[in-house]
Amino acid sequence: MSLETVSSNLSFGGVQGVYRHASSATGTDMTFSVYVPPHAPGAKLPVVWYLSGLTCTHANVTEKGEYRRACAELGLIFVAPDTSPRGEGVADDPEGAYDFGLGAGFYVDATQPPFAQHYRMWSYVTEELPALVAEHFPVDMGAQAITGHSMGGHGALTIGLTFPDRFRSISAFAPIVAPGQVPWGRKALPGYLGDDKAAWRRHDAVALIEDGARVKELLVDQGEADGFLAEQLKPSLLVAACADAGIDLTLTMRPGYDHSYYFISTFMEDHLRWHAERLRG
């Protein structure tokens, strides 16, 4: 699979790159970023996948996430894809809303027109992009972790719960834990997947756990001053589901922190060190 380098910059002894390729999953060009820390020739390194939230591209975390110093120290590759397909002919919310369509793919494979043609973010993130990254970068695919923010936290949780043997660790920042029970998800899931509520449950972390998905542990950070906390995020639902399932959930409520990258960048290093312990273990 061919790869175009959009940019490449030295940072903390490693290389921060941005890349573009023609995606067979989405039928569009897709852009993503990869940070490769300094390493010995021939070494294979653990990888952390980061999924971004509503309205974001790869650039938000790449420019604001403040992960490179820790990744360089810990020897972690950090990969950040886009949140939806983009380009001419790609469907968008007819009213131009921020929470559906462009920038809001919700990490599902859409089945409903006009979104089914391009919105195949589940296949892109779980199949195509990992194969591409494994081909072009020094990744140890036996040592993978996943994290994300908001809609991307939803994606990290649902993908991690669906592929528990693939990921050694799973974390999230302010995730949408139960999209089937909140306005963002009640708009996106039927819009992409139609009226099949069984399909919705496969993309809902709380529902997946209720239906038998199991992992050893999860790490979640949540700002107490997050304006979306009460209506859209509802971490208490994840607390209850994990308690019933015997999953060790570490949920840390952060007083004064909101939903922004000021919050994410503050606790990014904590998450990367947590992942590194499990990836090296």
What would the pLDDT profile of 3-49 be if each residue is shown by its tens digit? 999 999 999 999 999 999 999 999 999 999 999 999 999 999 999 99
Kindly name the residue from 150, 154, 204, 271 that is annotated as catalytic.
Answer: 150
pLDDT for 57: 98
Kindly name the residue from 171, 226, 271, 275 that is annotated as catalytic.
Answer: 226
- Catalytic (active site) residue 226: yes
- The CATH number assigned to the domain with range 3-279 reads 3.40.50.1820
Residue 260 to residues 47, 48, 90, 229, 251, Cα–Cα distance (Å): 24, 20, 27, 12, 18
Residue boundaries of the structural domains of the chain: 3-279
pLDDT for 91: 98
- pTM for the complete prediction? 0.98
Residue 161 has pLDDT above 80, yes or no: yes
- Catalytic (active site) residue 58: no
- Catalytic (active site) residue 260: no
Kindly name the residue from 203, 259, 271, 275 that is annotated as catalytic.
Answer: 259
pLDDT for 1: 77
- The string of pLDDT tens digits covering residues 170-208 is 999 999 999 999 999 999 999 999 999 999 999 999 999
- The string of pLDDT tens digits covering residues 72-123 is 999 999 999 999 999 999 999 999 999 999 999 999 999 999 999 999 999 9
